[in-house]
Homo-oligomer: A and B are copies of this chain.
Amino acid sequence: MNQELEYKGKQAKQASKALMCAGTDIKNTALGNMAQALQEQMAEILAANQMDLEAAKEKGISGALLDRLTLTPERIASMQEGILQIRDLEDPIGETVHMTVRPNGLEIGKKRVPVGVIGIIYEARPNVTADAAALCLKTSNAVILRGGKEALRSNLCIVKVLSQAIQRAGLPEGTLQIVEDTSRETAKELMKLNDYIDLLIPRGGGGLIQTVVKESTVPVIETGVGNCHTYVDKWADLEKAAAIAVNAKCSRPGVCNAMETLLVHKDVAAAFLPRMAAGMEPYHVELRGCAQTREILPAIRAAEEADYATEFLDFILAVKVVDSLEEAMEHIGRYSSGHSEAIVTENYTNARRFQQEVDAAAVYVNASTRFTDGFEFGFGAEIGISTQKMHARGPMGLEALTSVKYVISGDGQIR
């Protein structure tokens, strides 16, 4: 086995025992130290980031990737702000979720406990480093990070700064670690490190997530891929529908809760589609429509089947006219990634059916899919948006990083 992984795995396991017993005070002190250290050692972090940026530019890395890799004083301040927000959230660990007394007098309590050791695999976004460190610490989990190789110098520097801050609060070195070997082979070994890692969370694009899901024998929470639909029903309020569609597509097209396909009932297509197209115009959205859509909007490009399966993450929208609610739900059933789906309708029965029958983490009536978000849902933090059904589904707050245990108190009961 890879020596670095084995060493860090053992350190993390050891640290997770100490973290299990660490009180809220000490964890919050550590989080406060972390935020302060980012501020005080900002110059060092920016210098490390500068080296990553120069190396990336030499390799010819493109605009959007380069932007994600870039740290600025403002971005570091927002990492700092994020850590302080997490510090100020209620500590989920130790909460008694449920308590029963059995007829034989046994008291059975179900308590919230940490998961143990969490692995996080992500791409070249150094801000994820601080965020993941803070979320795991707040929930008393040790964490092993594995970031993209382009961000290695930045990540190593951030982890060094944060880890020292954590240790100043009296928590062990193994609390926060990063894998220095960014080879693919080592990443694959990390995915099979069942002896040391309890949970793996991939954060990044669809390719990364699918690799982790397919290769990992450690339990995984699948996050983030969103092929989201909005269906404008025959009984839609077309004004609401246009506002929702424009918001869902244009307010931030690069995120997973943005709309990728618009479905429109045939009876309202002629009235709705031009209105929608006018609303999207200022954003220069490229529309790709089915044959019926193009009878109404002849200037737009024809949609291919593949467009309906694509998460564009861009100002591109696939459009399809459907004959019925059933056809809309069938289309969604085929192409949805199970993230967020919306219907716009004033019809009570259709609204209910859509919410009941569509199988997705978040199912909306008369609202934009853009609300699928831990902060918008009131969780105060977000680890990601789970598109799987086990353990956690939809926006994940701190609770998603916890497990439970049963604590049973008796006075000599036998069975």
- A residues with CB within 8 A of B: 17, 20-21, 100, 102, 106, 108, 113, 115-116, 194, 198-199, 213-214, 217, 219-221, 237, 240, 243-244, 246-248, 251, 333, 351, 355-357, 359-368, 370-372, 376-378, 388-391, 393-395, 403-415
Contacts and interface: CB of A to CB of B under 8 A. Distances in A.
Contacts of A405: 359-363, 393-394
Contacts of A244: 412, 414
B414 A247 contact: yes
27 contacts: A17-B333, A17-B359, A20-B356, A21-B357, A102-B376, A102-B378, A106-B371, A113-B359, A214-B217, A219-B220, A243-B414, A244-B412, A351-B409, A360-B405, A365-B409, A367-B409, A367-B410, A367-B414, A368-B414, A368-B415, A371-B413, A371-B415, A389-B403, A390-B391, A393-B403, A394-B406, A395-B406
A340 to B, nearest CB: 9
A148 B146 CA distance: 40
A95 to B, nearest CB: 13
Contacts of A409: 351, 355, 364-367
Contact of A413 (B106, B217, B360, B368): B368
A246 to B, nearest CB: 8
A143 to B, nearest CB: 15
Contacts of A408: 362-365, 367, 371
Contacts of A359: 17, 20, 113, 116, 405
User: Which of the listed residues A17, A213, A403 has the most CB atoms from chain B within 10 Å of its own CB?
Assistant: A403
Is the contact region of chain A dominated by helix, strand, or loop, or is it mixed? mixed
A378 B108 CA distance: 10
Contacts of A199: 389-390
Contacts of A351: 409
Nearest to A367: B410
Nearest to A368: B414
Contacts of A355: 407, 409
A109 B393 CA distance: 13
Contacts of A102: 376-378
A407 B363 CA distance: 5
Contacts of A20: 356-357, 359
A376 B243 contact: no
A362 B406 CA distance: 5
Contacts of A395: 406
Nearest to A414: B247
Contacts of A219: 219-220, 388, 390
B412 A366 contact: yes
A414 B370 contact: yes
B415 A376 contact: yes
A412 B361 contact: no
A404 B219 CA distance: 19
A368 B412 CA distance: 8
A17 B364 CA distance: 19
A400 to B, nearest CB: 10
